[in-house]
Amino acid sequence: MGLALTLIAQRISLGILMLFAVSALIFVGTQILPGDVAESILGQSATPENLANLRKELGLNEPALTRYFNWLGGIMVGDLGTALTSGASISEAITSRLGNTLFLAAVAAMISVPIAILLGLFAVRYKDRWPDKLISASTLASISLPEFFIGYLLILVFGVKLGWFPTVATVYDGMSFGDRLNAVMLPALTLTLVVLAHMMRMTRAAILNVMQSAYIETAELKGLSSFKIIWKHALPNAISPVINVVMLNMAYLIVGVVVVEVIFVYPGMGQYLVDHVSKRDVPVVQACGLIFAAIYIGLNLVADIISVLSNPRLRHPK
Amino acid sequence: MATDPADEQLLDIRDLKIGVTVREPGKPPRDITIVEGVSCTLGKGKVLGLIGESGAGKSTIGLSSLAYGRGGVEITGGEVFVNGRDILKLSRADLNGFRGREVSYVSQSAAAGFNPAHRLIDQVIEATLEHGLLNRSEAEARAKELFEALSLPDPDTIGNRYPHQVSGGQLQRVMTAMALCPKPDLIVFDEPTTALDVTTQIDVLAAIKKAIRITGVAALYITHDLAVVAQIADEIMVLRDGETVEHGTTQQIIETPKEEYTQALVSVRSIIHEEKQPSQTPLIRMENIVAGYGRGPAVINDVTVDIYSGQTLAVVGESGSGKSTLARVLTGLLPPRSGQSTFEGRPLTNAQKDRPLDDLRDIQMIYQMADTAMNPRQTIGTIIGRPIQFYFGVTGKALQDRIAVMLEKIELPSDMANRYPAELSGGQKQRVCIARALAAEPKVIICDEVTSALDPLVADGILKLLLDLQKRENVAYMFITHDLATVKAIADSIAVMHLGKLARYGTKTEVLSPPFDDYTDLLLSSVPEMEIGWLEGVTASRKMQSAGN
C-alpha cells in the first residue's frame, strides 16, 4: 500500500503546483491583452485624464506582481475580487452559477456514464455484429451533430410535441429537487448525447484490447459466460483508460457547456464567463479561468488516483 | 475402430480437420489447413503426449478437446467425443457447462494466463463455483489441498496473493491446481514447463506428475521436448504439419521409433564437437567485471573470462544470472562499473560510442529473436549488405557479389536477396542474422540465445552451420544459452553463471566432469534426458541427498 500512497501524494502535490502555475498563466495572459477595463468602460468618452483617474480608482496602476499576489491572497480566503463592470462581488455571483453548472453536469454524468459503459460492454459482447454496429453508428451520429442542433431537436420533440419537459431551463433559489431535475432534463440529455460516443468508444476499445489477453482465454476455457468474462475479467483491467476518458468528458460537461446554456437560457458559468469576456471584465475572466482550471486538474487527479488504486501491482507490491 | 460414440474411451478424436481463414486487406480470403485428419483416443486416467515442432498443430488439437479455436481457427471436420458426447455439436450454453468441468486447460505462460486484477484463490476456485460443484468454503479447502499436493509454499495463504506476487514456477503450479480444482476428467497441458528455467522445470514437472497420479485425471500433454514428455506420458503421438507421423507407447517411440522424422527427433542434439585446447594468449579477456543498471545492485560481480581465437566460450545460466549483461559489457552497450576488457592484448574502450570502428567491426552480435532483429521493410540483400557497405565501403556490383557469397555461406539460395524477412522461416531468418554478423568479418560473434526460439531440428541445423563457419572463418563465439545440451554440442570452454557470479569456469571437459559444485550439479541433473524413469531417479536421489545432509 505504501507505494500507492506515495504515488497518490505525488500526484496531489503536482496538481497543486500545476494550479499555481495555471493561476500565473491566467494572470499573465490577461495582462498582455491589448487595452484594459478602463478603456472599455469609458469607451468613446475616454480622455487621458478620465482614463488615469479610473485606473487609479480601480487599482490598475499598481505593479503587476503586487496585483497578482493581492489576487492570489484573496482567492486563498475565498475572495475572488469584485467585478469591474458591476462592482458586485464575484464570489457571490459565481456561487449560485457554479452550483447550477455542477448540478447540470452531475445530472448529465449520471445519465451518460453508466449508459456509455453499458453500451461499450454490449458492443464488445456483440463485436462486429449488428448490435455493435448499431451502437457505433448511432453514437457517432449523435457526436457528429452540433450541440445546438441536438438541443433544438430535443426541444422540438420532448418540449414542443410531447410536452414532457420545459423548453427553457429556468432554475431559481428555493426550487425543489424534483422541479430542478425536470428543468435541466433537456440540456442534460443534449449533453449526454454529445459525450456518449467518446466514452462508449473508449470503453469498447479498452475492453477489446484486454480481450486479446491470455487470461480471457483462461476464463473462456473455464466455461464462463461472455458477459461474466467481460464484466469480471476484462473490465477491471480496462478501468484506467476508461476512467481517464470519463473524467475528460466530465470536465467538458462543466467547462464546455456555453452553447447548451445559451440554448436553454440556463444560468450557469458558461454564460456568465462569455458575458464578461465581451465586457473585458478581467477579474471575472480570471476567476472563471481559475475555477475551470481547478476543475480540470481536480478531475484528472481523480482519474490518476483511481488508476493507481485499480492497479494491483501498486496496491499490493511484492 | 468402433464407431459407437458411447464406447469406453474418455476422449475420442476422429478424423479431425482444423483450418483458419486468412483475411489480408486487398486479397480474397484464403483457407489454410492446420490439422488434417488426426484421430486418437485416450482412456480414463491415461496421459497422451502430443509432440511436434511449432506449426505441427499440437496446441490446436489440444484446444479442440475443449471445442475451442484460438483466434480465427475453426474446426472444419471430424468428431471429438468426450465421455461419449460429441462436443463439437454442443450448443453455446452446453459448451459453457462442459468447459472447465469435464476438461480444463493449463497454458504455457501462467503469468499471462492469470488475471492480474484478482487474487489467485478466486481464480483457482472460479470454475468450481461457476459449475456449482462445491460451495465457496469447500472449494477453498480443496484448492488448499491441491496447493499442498503440488508442493507450493504456504498452501493456506498463497491463494491470497495476486499473480505478480508469486514466481513463475509457482504460478505454473497454481495454474495446475486451478485446472484440477473442478475435478475434471481430462486436463490439457499446453507446454506447461517450456517458459521455465531448467531447474524450475524439473520441480513443476514432478509436481504435475504427482498431481496426475493422486487425482487419476487423464491428460493431454503438449510439448516440443521429447525428453520432457517421456517422463510423463503413457503414449506419445508425433505430429508434423497437422498430420500424425507416428503414434505408440512412450517406450516404443523413445526406444524403437519407426518413422524417420521421429528418429530425427529422438537423436536430435547428437552433434559431437571435439573441444579445442586454449591457446597461449586469449583473443579477449574480461577481467574482474562488475556491472549493473542505473543505480541498482550489481547484476554481474567480479567475473573473469577468456575468449580464444576460433573457439567457443559458452556462458550458461538461468534467467537473471547475468549472462546477457556480460554480453552487453563486451559490446560496450553497458560500460562496467569496474574491471577491464582487453582485446588482442590491448585495453578495450568501455563505452561503445568511444570505440574505434575496427573494434566495433570485430565484435558482432546475433540475437535470440531474429524477427525483431531485422527491419521488416528491408530486403535480405539490404540487411546483409549494410555492414559490408558500412565497414568496407563496398557498393554496386561488388556489393551484390559479396552478398551472394554471404548467402552461399549460410546455405541459402542467392535469389533470397530480394525477399523480405516476413517471407522466410524462423531458421532462415536466423541464418540471415548470422550472415549479417559474419559480413563484418569479425573476430568474435556474441550469440545470445540464438537457438532458443527455434524448433530442435532447426536449431540443430543452425548449430552445425555455426560450427562449420567457425572452422572456415576462424571466428570466436561467446555463446550465451540456458540450454546445456547446446553447450555440450558446441563449447570449447564453459562459464556457468549463477546470481551474477561465476559458479564454475574452465574447459568443457573440466566443467562437465565431477566433482561438481552444488549449483552446477543441480543444473546438470535438471536437464531432462530421453529416458523413461529419469524424473523419478533424479527426484529420488535429490531426496536422499537432502535427507543425508
* pLDDT of B488 over the 90 cut: no
Residue B408, phi then psi, degrees to nearest 5? -65, -40
CB B190 within 8 A of CB B62: yes
pLDDT of res. B7: 53
Counting beta carbons within 10 angstroms of the beta carbon of residue B65, is it exposed (0 to 12), middle (13 to 18) or buried (19 or more)?
buried
* Domain end residue (candidates: B267, B293, B321): B267
Q: Are residues B314 and B411 in the same domain?
A: yes
- Residue holding cell 495454474? B175
Q: Are residues B143 and B258 in the same domain?
A: no
Cα dist. B27→A90, A128, B19 in Å? 65, 20, 18
Mean pLDDT of B475-482: 92
Q: In this complex, is the C-beta atom of A221 within 8 Å of any C-beta atom belonging to chain B?
A: yes
Considering only A236-245, A267-276, B96-105, which range has the smallest mean pLDDT? Answer: A267-276
Q: Are residues B256 and B362 in the same domain?
A: no
Pairing of strands B476-481, B312-316: parallel
Instruction: List chain B residues with CB under 8 Å of A236.
Output: 115, 117-118
Is there a contact between A222 and B127 if contact means CB atoms under 8 Å apart? yes
Q: Determine the structural domain holding residue B135 and report its residue range.
A: 117-183
- Residue B22 covered by a domain: yes
For residue range A183-216, list pLDDT tens digits in order: 888 888 888 888 888 899 889 999 998 988 889 9
Cα dist. A302→A85, A98, A292 in Å? 36, 20, 15
Q: In this complex, is the C-beta atom of A129 within 8 Å of any C-beta atom belonging to chain B?
A: no
| Distance, CA of B474 to CA of B477 (rounded, Å) | 10
Q: In this complex, is the C-beta atom of B66 within 8 Å of any C-beta atom belonging to chain A?
A: yes
pLDDT of res. B5: 45
Q: What is the mean pLDDT of chain A?
A: 84
For residue range B113-156, list pLDDT tens digits in order: 999 999 999 999 999 999 999 999 999 999 999 998 888 888 99
User: Could you tell me the pLDDT band of residue B288, with boundaries at 50, 70 and 90?
Assistant: very high
For residue range A35-53, list pLDDT tens digits in order: 666 776 676 667 778 778 8
Residue B104: CB atoms within 10 A of its CB come to 27
Helix (H, G, I), strand (E, B) or coil at B482: coil
Mean pLDDT of B475-479: 94
Is there a contact between A214 and B107 if contact means CB atoms under 8 Å apart? yes
Instruction: List chain A residues with CB under 8 Å of B164.
Output: 312-313, 316, 318
For residue range B318-341, list pLDDT tens digits in order: 888 888 899 999 999 999 999 999
Q: Are residues B87 and B231 in the same domain?
A: yes
Q: Please name the residues in contact with B456: beta carbons below 8 A apart, sequence gap of 6 or more.
A: B53, B224, B225, B265, B268, B269
* pLDDT of B218 over the 80 cut: yes
Q: Are residues B303 and B166 in the same domain?
A: no
The domain tally of chain B equals 3
Considering only A14-18, A171-175, A203-207, A271-275, which range has the smallest mean pLDDT? Answer: A171-175
Percentage of chain B exceeding pLDDT 70:
97
Is there a contact between B96 and A318 if contact means CB atoms under 8 Å apart? no
Q: In this complex, is the C-beta atom of B355 within 8 Å of any C-beta atom belonging to chain A?
A: no
Domain ranges of chain A: 90-278
Which of B100, B116, B117 is opposite residue A222, by nearest beta carbon? B100
Q: In this complex, is the C-beta atom of B162 within 8 Å of any C-beta atom belonging to chain A?
A: yes
Q: Please name the residues in contact with A37: beta carbons below 8 A apart, sequence gap of 6 or more.
A: A58, A60, A84, A85, A280, A281, A282
pLDDT of res. B2: 44
Q: Are residues B428 and B338 in the same domain?
A: yes
* Domain end residue (candidates: B138, B166, B183): B183
Q: In this complex, is the C-beta atom of A219 within 8 Å of any C-beta atom belonging to chain B?
A: yes
User: How big is the A-B interface in CB pairs under 8 Å?
Assistant: 77
Q: Are residues B208 and B172 in the same domain?
A: no
- Given CATH 1.10.3720.10, say whether it is the number of domain A90-278: yes
Q: Are residues B331 and B474 in the same domain?
A: yes
CB B55 within 8 A of CB B241: yes
User: What sign does the dihedral B410-B413-B416-B417 (CA atoms) show?
Assistant: positive
* pLDDT of A168 over the 80 cut: no
Pairing of strands B11-22, B30-42: antiparallel
Which of A217, A233, A312 is opposite residue B162, by nearest beta carbon? A312
Task: Select from A207, A215, A229, A314 the residue whose CB has the most chain B CBs within 10 Å, as the one to mutate to test that interface.
Answer: A215
Cα–chain center distance at B105 = 20
Closest Cα in chain B, distance from residue A227 (Å): 12
Q: What is the CA radius of gyration of chain B?
A: 26
pLDDT of res. B3: 47
Length of chain A: 318
pLDDT of res. B225: 85
- Residue B545 covered by a domain: no
- Residue B168 covered by a domain: yes
Closest Cα in chain B, distance from residue A80 (Å): 45
pLDDT of res. B189: 93
Q: Please name the residues in contact with B484: beta carbons below 8 A apart, sequence gap of 6 or more.
A: B198, B316, B523, B524, B527
Is there a contact between A236 and B98 if contact means CB atoms under 8 Å apart? no
Q: Are residues B190 and B177 in the same domain?
A: no
Which of A215, A310, A318 is opposite residue B115, by nearest beta carbon? A215
| Distance, CA of B529 to CA of B514 (rounded, Å) | 18
Preceding amide of A187 cis, omega within 30: no
Q: Are residues B464 and B402 in the same domain?
A: yes
* pLDDT of A59 over the 50 cut: yes
Q: Are residues B20 and B83 in the same domain?
A: yes
DSSP classification of residue B484: H
Residue B115, phi then psi, degrees to nearest 5? -75, 120
Is there a contact between A215 and B116 if contact means CB atoms under 8 Å apart? yes
Q: Is the pTM of this model over 0.90?
A: no
Q: Which residue of B has its CA nearest to A237?
A: B117
Instruction: List chain A residues with CB under 8 Å of B102.
Output: none
* pLDDT of A266 over the 60 cut: yes
Is there a contact between B113 and A215 if contact means CB atoms under 8 Å apart? yes
Is there a contact between B112 and A215 if contact means CB atoms under 8 Å apart? yes
Q: Which residues of B389-425 are buried (b: 16+ CB within 10 A; e: fewer)?
A: eebeebeeeebeebbbebbebbebeeebbebebeebe
Q: Please name the residues in contact with B231: beta carbons below 8 A apart, sequence gap of 6 or more.
A: B205, B209, B528, B532, B534, B535
What is the DSSP secondary-structure string of A226-243?
HHHIIIIIIHHHHHHHHH
User: Could you tell me the pLDDT band of residue A1, with boundaries at 50, 70 and 90?
Assistant: low
Is there a contact between B101 and A223 if contact means CB atoms under 8 Å apart? yes
* pLDDT of A256 over the 80 cut: no
Task: Select from B104, B125, B126 the residue whose CB has the most chain A CBs within 10 Å, as the one to mutate to test that interface.
Answer: B126
Is there a contact between A222 and B113 if contact means CB atoms under 8 Å apart? no
pLDDT of res. B128: 93
| Distance, CA of A260 to CA of A257 (rounded, Å) | 5
Considering only A229-233, B383-387, B457-461, which range has the smallest mean pLDDT? Answer: B457-461
Q: What is the CA radius of gyration of chain A?
A: 24
C-alpha cell read off for B495: 562459464
pLDDT of res. B1: 43
Q: In this complex, is the C-beta atom of A236 within 8 Å of any C-beta atom belonging to chain B?
A: yes
- Residue B299 covered by a domain: yes
Q: Are residues B515 and B463 in the same domain?
A: yes
Which of A213, A223, A233 is opposite residue B100, by nearest beta carbon? A223
Is there a contact between B100 and A225 if contact means CB atoms under 8 Å apart? no
